[in-house]
């Protein structure tokens, strides 16, 4: 699974710094989430911030979805980060392909069904649940198109859809950061929870789309075919800018 963040839109020279900053931030949030896991095995409905008040809704079906989700989520994000960094070129080409395949299995076999199940029991009711369900379906949709364009060797489009998929995969980290900030500031409420359920992934996705629109040649993305593993060719717009 390639990625359009760094290779296509003129950010290649900033790749080491951007990768490092993203990795540090993502790792910090991910570690914070993983620390909560000590209250999940077994489920602790008193100490766990997420499980508090869920005794009645923590049915067998929900428990299966919950544990499937929290076990498959971190490796899916880690694989996505590797895919962003490796870009499917050079000595990482084979590893990139296999990492992408494993990630797709995790998304469709684990995250998709478990995410939809958990969305039915979201705090504050269906409005937040619809937000989480929409995020889950959007992630699967982007992943499916990333696979399709990789198989048809339309690598520029593959990278665009893979980028969208990655933005959606890391959006729960953003949700966690915002949620923590709301708790610390004493501003958490049912309304902010619902807004966070939607905006934590819609805003990052919109920001990516605006950035891509401003820095890429959309027509070139739809028409250029690149051999898998080859270095992406510069778009006409970027070539004209250099001239």
State pLDDT tens for residues 214-224: 886 655 555 55
- Separation of alpha carbons 79 and 143, rounded Å: 13
Neighbouring C-beta atoms of residue 9, cutoff 10 Å: 21
Distances from the Cα of 209 to the Cα of 18, 78, 160, 164, 166, angstroms: 18, 23, 10, 9, 13
- What is the chain's mean pLDDT, rounded? 82
Residue 129 has what pLDDT?
96
35/140: higher pLDDT: 140
Band (pLDDT 50/70/90 cuts) for residue 207 is very high
Burial of 3 per CB tally in 10 Å (0-12, 13-18, 19+): buried
Band (pLDDT 50/70/90 cuts) for residue 186 is confident
Neighbouring C-beta atoms of residue 26, cutoff 10 Å: 16
- Separation of alpha carbons 2 and 200, rounded Å: 24
- Separation of alpha carbons 177 and 148, rounded Å: 33
Residue 100 has what pLDDT?
94
Tell me the whole-structure pTM to 2 decimals: 0.79
**122-135 pLDDT, tens digit each:** 988 899 999 999 99
Neighbouring C-beta atoms of residue 212, cutoff 10 Å: 18
140/7: higher pLDDT: 140
Burial of 106 per CB tally in 10 Å (0-12, 13-18, 19+): buried
Residue 215 has what pLDDT?
80
């Amino acid at each position: 699974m390639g990625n359009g963040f760094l290779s296509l839109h003129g950010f290649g020279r900033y790749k080491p710094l951007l990768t490092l900053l993203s990795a540090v931030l993502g790792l910090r949030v991910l570690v914070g989430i993983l620390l909560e896991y000590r209250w999940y095995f077994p489920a602790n409905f008193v100490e766990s911030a997420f499980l508090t008040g869920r005794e009645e809704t923590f049915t067998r079906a929900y428990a299966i979805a919950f544990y499937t989700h929290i076990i498959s989520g971190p490796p899916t994000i880690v694989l996505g980060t590797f895919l962003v960094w490796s870009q499917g070129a050079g000595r990482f080409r084979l590893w990139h392909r296999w990492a992408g395949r494993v990630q797709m299995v995790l998304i469709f076999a684990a995250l998709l069904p478990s995410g939809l199940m958990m969305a039915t029991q979201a705090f504050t009711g269906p409005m937040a649940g619809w937000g989480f369900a929409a995020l889950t379906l959007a992630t699967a949709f982007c992943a499916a198109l990333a696979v399709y364009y990789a198989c048809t060797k339309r690598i520029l489009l593959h990278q665009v859809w893979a980028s969208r998929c990655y933005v959606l995969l890391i959006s729960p980290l953003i949700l966690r950061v915002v949620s923590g900030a709301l708790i610390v500031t004493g501003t958490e409420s049912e309304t902010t929870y619902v807004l966070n359920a939607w905006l934590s992934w819609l805003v990052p996705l919109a920001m990516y789309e605006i950035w891509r629109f401003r820095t890429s040649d959309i027509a070139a993305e739809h028409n250029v075919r690149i051999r898998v593993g080859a270095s992406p060719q510069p778009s006409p717009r970027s070539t004209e800018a250099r001239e």
